[in-house]
Amino acid sequence: MADHQERTRVAYDGIVELYASMFADRLETQPFARAMITTFAELVRGTGNPRTADVGCGPGHLTAMLHDLGLDPFGLDLSPAMIDHARRAHPALRFDEARMEALPIEDGSLGGVLAHYSMIHTPPAELPALLAEQVRVLAPGGLLLVSFFGTDGPDPVRFDHKVTPAYSWPADRLAELLTGAGLVTFARLLHDPASERGFLDSHLLARRP
């Protein structure tokens, strides 16, 4: 495991209850993010393959939301403490410990992958490998929704996230990486920040041809 992954795992293991309490109902005050996830779920249902991975699922609140939206979701996370919490909070759903660069999923088997602010701690040079892995597990026509902190500048920006260092991305640059991974980006939503950091809240929706 790379050093930054170990730091991320340890950091999130140590804040499970606080994190869960802060984010369990977060989308109730984030209508744009909620709308994108709802649209994503509708489009995944339309593929006829509702099986969906919530990668970097944390305490499992979005996995549960995907289930309520009619999908067949399961959650994956690097943090064993987060997975333990998710299993307790949502016992009817499946949650497993996993790394995003080595997903325990068969090739071409998913209708959707949700990556909701779950790749923000990945150094830019390593992000293409994570995206390639997500494309690997998507069936043709399958969808990926990536949410992230956006910046107006030309390059990713490293910043001191409250949990562990993270990166914000120009939407165009991240869309280029999605194209390079073999996806077609067909929708994006950028809106004013919901935090004091000043980054845009950003969402890209892409499809595997």
CA 202 to chain CA centroid, Å, is 12
Q: What confidence tier does 27 reach under pLDDT thresholds 50, 70, 90?
A: confident
How far, in Å, CA of 15 to CA of 46, rounded?
A: 37
This prediction has a pTM of: 0.92
Q: Which two tokens stand for residue 202?
A: 């950003």
Buried b or exposed e, range 67-80, using 16+ CB within 10 angstroms = bebebbbbbbbbbe
Give the DSSP per-residue string, 173-201. Answer: HHHHHHHHTT-EEEEEEEE--SSTT-PEE
Q: What residues contact 116, with CB distance under 8 A and at least 6 apart?
A: 33, 37, 54, 56, 62, 145, 147
Report yes or no: 12 and 82 within 8 Å, Cβ to Cβ.
yes
Q: What is the pLDDT of residue 56?
A: 94
pLDDT digits (tens, 9 = 90+) for 101-131: 999 999 999 999 999 999 999 999 999 999 9
Report yes or no: 127 and 170 within 8 Å, Cβ to Cβ.
no
Q: Which two tokens stand for residue 55?
A: 């990668």
Report yes or no: 109 and 47 within 8 Å, Cβ to Cβ.
no
Query: Which fold is adopted by the domain 3-207?
Result: Rossmann fold (3.40.50)
How far, in Å, CA of 157 to CA of 163, rounded?
A: 16
pLDDT digits (tens, 9 = 90+) for 63-105: 999 999 999 999 999 988 889 999 999 999 999 999 999 999 9
SS3 58: coil
